[in-house]
Structure 1
Amino acid sequence: MGLANDTFISQVEDLLNGRVVIPSIQRDFVWMRPDVRDLFDSLYRGYPVGALLLWKTSLAVPFKTAAVVQAAKSAHQPLYLLDGQQRLTSLAWVYRPESKADGRLIDLRFDVRTEEFVNPSAVQRKDPLLFPVSTLLQENTQFYQLLLKAGVPFDDSHFDTWTQRLQKVNSIRHHQIAVITYESDDYEEVAEVFARLNKGGRRLSKGDLVYSAIAARWSDGLDTMDAFHQELQDSNFALNREAVLRLMSLLAGTGAHHIKLIGADVDEAALKEAWHATERALRFAVDFLRGECSIPRSEILSSPNVAIVPALLLHHRDGKLHPGEAQLLRRWVYTAMGFSHYSLQVEGKLDAEARLIRARGGEGLFTELIRRASGTRSVDSPLHARDLEQKYSTHPFFRLLYIAALRGRARDWATNIAISDQPMHSGAKIEFHHVFPRARVQSAYAKEEWNSLANLAFVTGQTNKMISSKLPAEYTVGIAPERLAEQWIPDDPDLRSLDRFPDFLAARRRLLADVLNRMLGLPAQAGQSARPGHRRAACRRGGDRGGHHRAHSRRTERARAPHGTRRRGPRGL
């Protein structure tokens, strides 16, 4: 990495002459006129304005049309401006107004009386002592002539002071700025450098750089890929670029480490073929996840990478599965989600799974995929009630239980209408309801209990409001027993009183473990799996644990969850 100081005007000239270009991964120019004014004010006062980050590479990196007219293209490999586009473009617009690409000039004026930079109104433009900054920035400007033309004679008491102020504006040309030049042909490395140096702006991902590199070899590649991402988003199944590129790389035969897509041996034809296969595979996968797995939107997935194995498999099978395989693939999806299969070593796991899909078939393929997705657990080891202790709405099991409620057509406790993930009526949006309301239990029991997964159910917003802070012993009287059973509420009414809260949790954990075992294709838990003597929390006021848990910050009763669900308690779906 090289670090040098250069004048701002020299860097502006490099931009205008095509020696510095804007890579296609950069965001568009977004500054407003007040931002440009404030930049010049900072430069005039000698304030620091950051550094420029340039990327030097021998790779053919695509660049976008800049917001300035670049009159010439460099005969040599240009430098790519990764950080500083807003500042450099603003200076270019004022220094050479005709370079503004859209033709709408920026009229920035300097008030020599107050030393202020002004975006003038129509009336202010008639003020002769508001000098155009573009004029002041030019080389060999005759400042005394400007003052004389403005009606300020030599013998005016302000003449010398105002001349010095005009000269000070002109000296912005020579303002020194740090220029960092990073030389590398490694896209992944450059992405990491940029991400660390540019946290205040648009964070550049490795996926952005790979997309940019693809566009260098495929003229309409970015438009094609962006159009498909928009299609996914419109279908409520947006997937991040990293996951989509991993699938594309696997289909291109370069492995899940998508940086390999920019290898010299991957030409335009190969990229087009791999991308069209990616679109086809993902359409298969999204339909499978929605239809067979009852996953209504991508946010429910524990990781976007969960979509890759179904996409690969269905692509190789031309969208067809043998009898019984849909259930096995669904079991794999739930297993990968429930045990956070892609939390670590994503590329290595996907590479292994892609090899399995190519090499094996039949039930043996799914057995091995499920074994791998189970992690360190035995593939036939059931979940027990104790496995759900200290699990909250942030845990993947909660997502599976939400899917189970949708699959089971669970109905709202008040309306008796099946809950919907994306209802039209705002009052029907699903909220994560505390069965024992927090307001009634937080003073007597530990947060790890009242905020646990076993105390959460799915109801509509209007029902949640109706229940308010009532205890279940009170509000469940008017709810049909089958409604409660659909959400695995223990049928013993005695468990719904405040003093039986820990017993309610223990009983419901056993029921929830049964639900998860069925979803994951695991054996039923044997006998009573809750911990013997599961004691009531010693958290009543004056107890040994209550003070600690009451110290936890109280979150809002209702916080919006992504795309259509609401929750009470910690972060959820």
Structure 2
Amino acid sequence: VTASWHRLVPAMDTWLGLLQDRLGLTSLDFIVSLNSHVVPVAWIASYPKQAHEDKLLEWFVHSQVWSRFSRSSETALDADLQRLHGVRSGNPFPGLMQGLRSGGQAARITQGDLQTATRQSSLRVLMYLAARDSGARDLFTGEVIVGTTVASGQQAVMQQIFPSTATRRQVPVREANELTNYVLLAQEVRATKPTADVFRYLPDVPRARLDDAAIPADPALWEPARFRDFIRERRRHLAAQMNDALKALAGDAPAG
């Protein structure tokens, strides 16, 4: 037991360092299940000199996005650990990815996926990675989103673009809570603006920041009365950005 513990502690440190250094992930707010750490730590503890970092991180993100360990987590975890134990050398992660696919999970994000995703959705980690990969900045301060902890030392926040109070006459609250109605910022809007109504301040945001945040640049859509049109268009932009992030994880250059 002591020997196993001595292997696991440095493996956990290595894994958390990898998440921070490669993906900028330091906050549990973007991690769907703590069980998702078990497989990476077990692999690093067993084979510290052949971590296969790229494929490990790709599998980890996909396991988050498709909620690998949120339902029947013990069954999924046992199956993945058995795959690890069955590998004496080489790379187990293509097999683990195949295990994900066998559950019916797709390799791409669709606009339909976003239509059913809320603030608590497993897709939020991919929303963050998409913003980070695109070089997104805080819409109002211009601070680059380099990680879930930004340069100022604060935790990045997810803020509604149209608060439910602004759209309650147009749509049910559940629609305002769709993930597509959120944007990643370096700090709360109220830190720099009189209200938390992000949509009111979009006319003053540089076009490049809107594009990097996958926010439609058509001012006609920035009104509560056009909320559904705005969300429909943003789903299209955000799905494309998320798929570019998945391609980057796989080592493929995003199109365009």
Report the TM-score, using the length of structure 1 for normalisation: 0.39
Whole-Å separation in 2 of the counterparts to 1:303 and 1:404: 20
Q: Pick from 326, 329, 337 the counterpart of residue 64 of structure 2.
A: 337
1:352 aligns with 2:79: yes
Whole-Å separation in 1 of the counterparts to 2:151 and 2:21: 20
Q: Pick from 2, 8, 11 the counterpart of residue 281 of structure 1.
A: 11
**Alignment partner, residue 159 of structure 2:** 433
Structure 1 counterpart of 2:36, one-letter code: V
Query: Is contact 2:136-2:213 (8 Å) kept?
Result: yes
Query: Is contact 1:284-1:319 (8 Å) kept?
Result: no
Q: Pick from 489, 511, 514 the counterpart of residue 240 of structure 2.
A: 514
Q: Pick from 86, 90, 94 the counterpart of residue 367 of structure 1.
A: 94
Specify whether residues 346 and 433 from structure 1 end up closer, same or farther in structure 2 by C-alpha distance, changes over 3 A only. Answer: closer
Q: Secondary structure at the match of 1:511?
A: helix
User: In angstroms, what is the RMSD of aligned CA positions?
Assistant: 2.8
Query: Is contact 1:310-1:329 (8 Å) kept?
Result: yes
Query: Is contact 1:306-1:336 (8 Å) kept?
Result: yes
If asked which structure has higher relative contact order (CA below 8 Å, sep 6+), I would say: 2
Once the two structures are superposed, what CA deviation does each residue of 1:455-474 show, in whole Å capped at 9, x if it has no partner? 111222255651626573x4
Shift in Å, 1:401:
1.2
Shift in Å, 1:379:
4.6
Specify whether residues 388 and 424 from structure 1 end up closer, same or farther in structure 2 by C-alpha distance, changes over 3 A only. Answer: closer
Query: Is contact 1:295-1:403 (8 Å) kept?
Result: no
Q: Pick from 495, 505, 522 the counterpart of residue 221 of structure 2.
A: 495
Q: Secondary structure at the match of 1:503?
A: helix
Whole-Å separation in 1 of the counterparts to 2:208 and 2:44: 38
Whole-Å separation in 1 of the counterparts to 2:241 and 2:72: 29
Whole-Å separation in 2 of the counterparts to 1:413 and 1:299: 21
Whole-Å separation in 2 of the counterparts to 1:415 and 1:475: 12
Whole-Å separation in 2 of the counterparts to 1:319 and 1:409: 32
Shift in Å, 1:337:
0.8
Structure 1 gaps of 5+ residues are 1-270, 524-573
Once the two structures are superposed, what CA deviation does each residue of 1:131-180 show, in whole Å capped at 9, x if it has no partner? xxxxxxxxxxxxxxxxxxxxxxxxxxxxxxxxxxxxxxxxxxxxxxxxxx
Q: Pick from 307, 322, 327 the counterpart of residue 54 of structure 2.
A: 327
Structure 2 gaps of 5+ residues are none
Q: Secondary structure at the match of 2:123?
A: helix
Query: Is contact 1:439-1:469 (8 Å) kept?
Result: no
Structure 2 counterpart of 1:335, one-letter code: H
Shift in Å, 1:306:
1.1
Q: Secondary structure at the match of 1:295?
A: coil
**Alignment partner, residue 119 of structure 2:** 393
Once the two structures are superposed, what CA deviation does each residue of 1:382-431 show, in whole Å capped at 9, x if it has no partner? 221011113211111123312433454421122111246446869x6543
Q: Pick from 29, 32, 38 the counterpart of residue 302 of structure 1.
A: 32
Q: Secondary structure at the match of 2:162?
A: coil
**Alignment partner, residue 181 of structure 2:** 455
Shift in Å, 1:454:
0.9
How do 1:69-80 and structure 2 match up within 5 A?
none
User: Computing the radius of gyration over CA atoms, which structure comes out larger, 1 or 2?
Assistant: 1
Shift in Å, 1:302:
1.0
Shift in Å, 1:336:
0.9
Structure 1 counterpart of 2:99, one-letter code: R
How do 1:86-485 and structure 2 match up within 5 A?
271-321=1-51, 325-360=52-87, 362=90, 365-374=92-101, 376-380=103-107, 382-419=108-145, 421-422=148-149, 430-459=156-185, 460-462=187-189, 466=193, 468=195, 470=197, 472=199, 474-485=200-211
Query: Which runs of structure 1 show a deviation greater than 6 angstroms over 4 or more consecutive aligned residues?
Result: none
Structure 2 counterpart of 1:329, one-letter code: L
How do 1:541-560 and structure 2 match up within 5 A?
none
Specify whether residues 461 and 433 from structure 1 end up closer, same or farther in structure 2 by C-alpha distance, changes over 3 A only. Answer: same
**Alignment partner, residue 505 of structure 1:** 231
Query: Is contact 1:440-1:469 (8 Å) kept?
Result: no
Whole-Å separation in 2 of the counterparts to 1:421 and 1:439: 27
Q: Secondary structure at the match of 1:433?
A: strand
Whole-Å separation in 2 of the counterparts to 1:441 and 1:338: 28
Structure 1 counterpart of 2:174, one-letter code: E
Query: Is contact 2:116-2:178 (8 Å) kept?
Result: yes
Q: Secondary structure at the match of 2:184?
A: strand
Structure 2 counterpart of 1:514, one-letter code: A
Query: Is contact 2:221-2:230 (8 Å) kept?
Result: yes
Query: Is contact 1:339-1:375 (8 Å) kept?
Result: no
Q: Percent identity?
A: 22
Whole-Å separation in 2 of the counterparts to 1:394 and 1:403: 16
Query: Is contact 1:413-1:479 (8 Å) kept?
Result: yes
Whole-Å separation in 2 of the counterparts to 1:280 and 1:403: 26
Structure 1 counterpart of 2:83, one-letter code: L
Query: Is contact 2:133-2:245 (8 Å) kept?
Result: no
Shift in Å, 1:294:
2.3
Shift in Å, 1:442:
1.4
Equivalent pairs counted in the alignment come to 246
Structure 2 counterpart of 1:510, one-letter code: R
Higher share of residues assigned helix: 2
Structure 2 counterpart of 1:276, one-letter code: H
Shift in Å, 1:453:
0.8
Structure 1 counterpart of 2:126, one-letter code: L
